[in-house]
Structure 1
């Protein structure tokens, strides 16, 4: 890719990365994607898998490119046309990960126009034939090879003892034998190293036991069976509670991005999480999740700030846990209801009770009536505790759901759906967890659900609900509530057990009563501007209500498409809940930085804030936040004086990334004092509504001792695009980056 760029090649180029599973193809593609992605107008990273739902995959590309989805574009060709139109004049980077078949590529590639703008597509695959087919010109195939002995050793000890260097002499011989059996496969090395790193007493016998448990060395020919043996060894060394939690991930389709909080709540609903007195069940569940990551059994997924919020399961690990689930009758996975019945007939499932059922009907609509025998669930399904439905919407859902009388967990993810009928959930009296995800226009819920006395989680992720159950406030166990647009019954603040509340703010909601939700940890309100403006008086109590939520960890207010003036609603608070960890107010405009943002918020690690103007003293107070890692500060008006970070105290001791959005060409008015932001790695400065040009960089960037990456964005009015001195601005800022002792990566963007 670098050679093609240096040679000035502007034609669309497809590069294939091919190799055995576990060699690190996805890791390499992700590193390249992260390293060069800023050079492109737009980018997307998508996984295909062995059983791809092409329409869903293309919709994912749409979403990652921030293309506005049409409610009418449900057909594959319509989605392709929309992507091609959007990419037509852009320089784009797309990674198509885990491609298995030519046929899938033939469809997906139709979405990528040949526009001679220097666009690049990276494909990863295990199949040599697919790699050649995708890039057509065989010149651009990168064949992955196993790590050599030195790199293997470095990776191994970096994980085991957190050191890339020496190996303790007593482990030298046994570690060499273990690494030989790993055959240079990064996945094998990391899995075994993670297993050893988790052992509390690192005695020689443990290392020797693991060495002896491994089979013959891979040599130069890695085998699926050898890799499975290594993964199986790591699985067998898990405590029983972690085995159960890992097996539960078999319910998700291959290459799924699995949300941490969602799966932890399902573990709790299933009874997998145990806590001691004084411990919080969700915190314990998250510790289970982190332990699976630390052991290298699941792969962490990070958000835009680098915070782990989910995971993926490597397809080789998924193969192992699927086989384990089958052996232990833990989860039954089928790719349609028809396939499940076929498998059941072949293997005598009639005599095995199904505990958990996952139907992943990606390719076509599944006929679920065959699960019912004369309107009755067969004996093998009568006691099912968990049902997960992924893919196409079965029309028979309202008939099917009432038959699962012992259901605890219901997880539904449908794609390309206009309307869904969930009225039948009122019959599921044992239900503890319900998650429905679809971009459908309407969801129909039952008028009453007071019988669901055990329900802990109710999340409906859709555009609009026809109506909400009027008696939802009577659910005494409800902890997590997420609702789409639609009428909301009065009395939500009466649900004292609520820990999470995410919803569109209805005009008639009693904001003052929010103060009664004293157990609330997460609050996300999405405001409809017209409704909000029409009931502004109802928001007067917002500040006092928020101030009383002393367990609040996460607060987000969103006003779509516009910025909403605070007018003292929150800004007038004398103090804010000290428990707050994440505060997202990027569309909620304050006149100045609120005085309650100070060192008392000792747990705050992510802050998104919009102010009309600010000054050195105010940012100095923000700099006193002891745990702040990520800051996005938007200053809307053009600065009247200088803003020097660290000049009035406040060193931002923990800050790792800073996004600073300023009104006007004010680079010369920004500065960084010596000693400020000692851990800052990413500096992202965005200049809005520029007109006069930038001829001086921010002062003192050399004082940012850990800086690794500088990103600059300049936005001008369309009529000023041709006259704005873009080249001068880029030259000045690039020179400043090159003069920094760390030689940080530099990316420059110019928009109108």
Structure 2
């Protein structure tokens, strides 16, 4: 498999040299010569690397060559990054470069030229090795190719329903029948089969079934990883029951579980249980659970002996079968041909051959189908994939090895930038729920996201995420009301693959040694930070509802790797003062992404942070004790994301924020009041013309002057706007907000805690003609402004609507249907006056019935 990181950084290097190289190459002697040589040599290597995916996996000689080349490319990239800092200018090849020949920097220049010479000599040797090994002249190496050669479409959102399940109806019906007949004791049910067969999918379908939800008063889902602690299992059960116990011991945890479940009918799912030798933990938990009332436990495992030892009788062990040929074809075409409504007659014959190679394994079918979704609908391209599949399966004929061959094939066919993005999932522990925002920001910070034609960086990052979800390499966990994904996970078989590749590519290793990316864990050895100057990313990878406890020795070493691009210490508790740690952050001058989210008690950011001139993303969300943001924030010219949401003690942002002209995402913005002279007024937002996402919190009328009501209307790139009036004061605010018109091209609006009885007058289909998603929650709205219903023949383009906790709102469903003909999803909660709204299924959009339940 090709080294993804090499290809990404090679393209990045070549782009930097080709775009800005003329400035430097025309003025400086040895720098000019060495950079010209470097560019020439790397161009010759580039296309060869595009085709090493098969060569490297079959011919070990190339492995050493690739490893050596990877190290040289990283070192060259570090030299360029150092040059940028030495120039004293944000532009790598600006006139500021001349400072590199200042007498005070001669020593640095000499060392850099020496390093470049050594790199070029080594690359020349590698080129000769490749030519000799492949038995081709040097001049016949492939022509260089700039940028990504992925010809596939780019979808910024899922193109098919990720929740769809094919061929498991009989499995779920059988297990539901067992559940509904349970009476005495605890019914134990086992679901057993190889990885990728659909065990977890079956359990999830049962767990989320409406009839099952109605039968059981308490439901608990616990993912049991290969390495777990008994306390973790019990704490996970308690979280399902609404108790976030932290410091209790085993006995107290079990007592609490028993107390919550006593007299209740409950369902417990233990997903993916390993290790048949030591199951004492289960026997202790089981003995402490209340019995009777038809309570049940479902255990999924690859090992039948495990479920037997956990008390499942043979007649209650279900073994899912491989999908039938008909169901396999149905699942495949729903994914591979999603862009054409599930049909592509001209490719049907060859597509069925590809499906046959998946041998009825749901995971293999989904992943291969996702891969083919991005392939050109040409016969010869699909034939190439089929032939490659045949070659791989000759050596991998058993079902599980065949599945891994399918996953490896899907990885090989990824464009290089997506390979790097995919490898990032190797850092997260088994069964971890992963934040989309965290990984996308990581990709941006490390330069994995391809940028073209002035496209917003954050939008390109979201497209990378969709590229992996649509290929079924990562699984959806949680979505917003409109289908937007915000958390994900990876299948354990996929994780096995990504761990192997990451270790081969020195991207990440589980022992934490000699790799460029590390996950922050409570047991992180500080030696892995002190001795590893290669580190590019250091991230918090704790599971949901857990925190990292960082020892003083580890905390003091966090700022030692000088080439760090990404640091995320979110959800961490430090033994030593966080402020003291951050004083050392000035040494990380290459840092592009910094997350201090949910790190308590962060009261202020230190002055040392001012040195981080390359910072693109700053996340201090959920820092409840953060009182101010320093004024130097407005000098971070490269900043694209600033997240200060859920910072309850933060009054306003610093004056001059409007100078951050590259800002694309601003969350948690609180306008300054007239008395806050050093605070940022809402009028400054006019200058943030690249904003895509904006979350406002407005609480006082004086936060919006009469000459500032047009602050948002000309933000032409704005797609998402959240406006919250939580804890607002005074009826004058309603008048001001009514005049604060959003831009016409807005696609999603979230309105929270609006204080008025009538909705804002600008909330109408004429002022917001492109609005697709609308969420209104809490607040006093009792009716919509007359303009909401539009003039005659005017209709909304809204596709998804959420109404939550609006106790006074009343309106007729028939009227909503008339003005929102495109409505496909409705999510209504705690709105008792909406009596005419449907409870059951409604609406047929794009060939899919959307089911949403109204809860009152």
TM-score scaled to structure 2, two decimals? 0.66
Given that 1:97 and 1:125 are in contact with CA atoms closer than 8 Å, whether structure 2 keeps it comes out as: yes
Which residue of 1 is the match for residue 541 of structure 2?
A: 390
CA distance in 2, matches of 1:87, 1:171: 53
Cα distance, 1:405 vs structure 2: 1.0
1:308 to 466, 475, 485: 485
Given that 1:99 and 1:105 are in contact with CA atoms closer than 8 Å, whether structure 2 keeps it comes out as: no
Which residue of 2 is the match for residue 502 of structure 1?
A: 667
2:589 to 411, 425, 429: 429
2:825 to 619, 631, 656: 656
Cα distance, 1:124 vs structure 2: 2.3
* Residue 521 of structure 1 pairs with residue 678 of structure 2: no
Stretches of structure 1 lacking an aligned partner (at least 5 in a row): 682-704, 715-752
Given that 1:653 and 1:678 are in contact with CA atoms closer than 8 Å, whether structure 2 keeps it comes out as: no
Is 243-252 or 491-500 further displaced after alignment? 491-500
* Residue 627 of structure 1 pairs with residue 798 of structure 2: yes
Which residue of 2 is the match for residue 583 of structure 1?
A: 749
* SS of corresponding position for 1:613: coil
CA distance in 1, matches of 2:567, 2:773: 33
1:369 to 526, 532, 546: 526
CA distance in 2, matches of 1:158, 1:419: 53
* SS of corresponding position for 1:215: helix
Which residue of 1 is the match for residue 564 of structure 2?
A: 407
Cα distance, 1:414 vs structure 2: 4.5
Match runs of 1:247-286 below 5 Å = 247-286=423-462
Q: Which structure has greater helix proportion? A: 2
CA distance in 2, matches of 1:145, 1:616: 56
Is 79-88 or 561-570 further displaced after alignment? 561-570
Over 3 Å counting, the alpha-carbon distance change for 1:707 and 1:264 in structure 2 is closer
Q: Deviations over 1:446-492 (max 9, x none)?
A: 34411011111122344534665623333222222223344566337
* SS of corresponding position for 1:455: coil
User: What is the RMSD of the two structures over their aligned residues, measured on CA atoms?
Assistant: 4.2
Cα distance, 1:213 vs structure 2: 2.4
Given that 2:566 and 2:592 are in contact with CA atoms closer than 8 Å, whether structure 1 keeps it comes out as: yes
* SS of corresponding position for 1:588: coil
Which residue of 1 is the match for residue 771 of structure 2?
A: 603
Match runs of 1:115-514 below 5 Å = 116=292, 118-162=294-338, 172=349, 178-203=354-379, 205-206=383-384, 208-216=386-394, 222-223=399-400, 225-305=401-481, 306-329=483-506, 331-334=507-510, 339-340=511-512, 344=513, 354-359=515-520, 361=521, 365-366=522-523, 368-371=525-528, 377-378=530-531, 381-391=532-542, 392-395=548-551, 396-414=553-571, 421=578, 422-423=581-582, 424-438=584-598, 440=600, 445-465=605-625, 470=630, 471-483=632-644, 484-487=647-650, 490-491=654-655, 493-494=657-658, 496=660, 497-503=662-668, 510-513=680-683
* SS of corresponding position for 1:410: strand
Given that 2:589 and 2:613 are in contact with CA atoms closer than 8 Å, whether structure 1 keeps it comes out as: yes
* Count of aligned pairs: 646
Given that 2:337 and 2:343 are in contact with CA atoms closer than 8 Å, whether structure 1 keeps it comes out as: no
* SS of corresponding position for 1:397: helix
Cα distance, 1:593 vs structure 2: 2.4
2:760 to 591, 594, 598: 594
Match runs of 1:672-683 below 5 Å = 678-679=843-844
* SS of corresponding position for 1:309: strand
CA distance in 1, matches of 2:234, 2:283: 10
Given that 2:825 and 2:852 are in contact with CA atoms closer than 8 Å, whether structure 1 keeps it comes out as: no
Which residue of 2 is the match for residue 100 of structure 1?
A: 274
CA distance in 2, matches of 1:124, 1:22: 12
Cα distance, 1:247 vs structure 2: 1.7
* SS of corresponding position for 2:819: coil
CA distance in 2, matches of 1:262, 1:103: 35
* SS of corresponding position for 2:734: coil
CA distance in 1, matches of 2:597, 2:348: 50
Cα distance, 1:493 vs structure 2: 3.1
Which residue of 2 is the match for residue 699 of structure 1?
A: none
* SS of corresponding position for 2:191: strand
Match runs of 1:68-107 below 5 Å = 69=244, 73=247, 84-88=258-262, 91-101=265-275, 103=279, 106=282
Is 124-133 or 25-34 further displaced after alignment? 124-133
Given that 1:358 and 1:387 are in contact with CA atoms closer than 8 Å, whether structure 2 keeps it comes out as: yes
Q: Deviations over 1:644-666 (max 9, x none)?
A: 533894143233224164446x7
* Residue 27 of structure 1 pairs with residue 27 of structure 2: no
CA distance in 1, matches of 2:732, 2:260: 36
Cα distance, 1:21 vs structure 2: 0.5
Given that 2:368 and 2:406 are in contact with CA atoms closer than 8 Å, whether structure 1 keeps it comes out as: yes
* SS of corresponding position for 1:607: strand
Over 3 Å counting, the alpha-carbon distance change for 1:6 and 1:553 in structure 2 is same
Cα distance, 1:385 vs structure 2: 1.3
Cα distance, 1:591 vs structure 2: 0.7
Given that 1:275 and 1:284 are in contact with CA atoms closer than 8 Å, whether structure 2 keeps it comes out as: yes
* SS of corresponding position for 1:431: coil
Over 3 Å counting, the alpha-carbon distance change for 1:420 and 1:84 in structure 2 is farther
TM-score scaled to structure 1, two decimals? 0.74
Q: Deviations over 1:582-612 (max 9, x none)?
A: 3223433431122211113213313224543
Stretches of structure 2 lacking an aligned partner (at least 5 in a row): 1-174, 543-547
CA distance in 2, matches of 1:544, 1:135: 67
Cα distance, 1:23 vs structure 2: 0.3
Given that 1:563 and 1:588 are in contact with CA atoms closer than 8 Å, whether structure 2 keeps it comes out as: no
Given that 1:81 and 1:111 are in contact with CA atoms closer than 8 Å, whether structure 2 keeps it comes out as: no
Over 3 Å counting, the alpha-carbon distance change for 1:438 and 1:74 in structure 2 is farther
* SS of corresponding position for 1:184: coil
Is 464-473 or 593-602 further displaced after alignment? 464-473
Which residue of 1 is the match for residue 123 of structure 2?
A: none
CA distance in 2, matches of 1:453, 1:127: 53
Over 3 Å counting, the alpha-carbon distance change for 1:48 and 1:486 in structure 2 is farther
Cα distance, 1:434 vs structure 2: 1.6
Over 3 Å counting, the alpha-carbon distance change for 1:355 and 1:142 in structure 2 is same
Given that 2:817 and 2:823 are in contact with CA atoms closer than 8 Å, whether structure 1 keeps it comes out as: no
Q: Deviations over 1:93-142 (max 9, x none)?
A: 44433232455963995798427555544332222233234454554332
Over 3 Å counting, the alpha-carbon distance change for 1:309 and 1:663 in structure 2 is closer
CA distance in 1, matches of 2:714, 2:568: 34
Which residue of 1 is the match for residue 46 of structure 2?
A: none
CA distance in 1, matches of 2:248, 2:535: 33
CA distance in 2, matches of 1:429, 1:108: 52
Over 3 Å counting, the alpha-carbon distance change for 1:207 and 1:473 in structure 2 is closer
* SS of corresponding position for 2:609: coil
* SS of corresponding position for 1:572: helix
Cα distance, 1:432 vs structure 2: 0.5
CA distance in 2, matches of 1:308, 1:597: 26
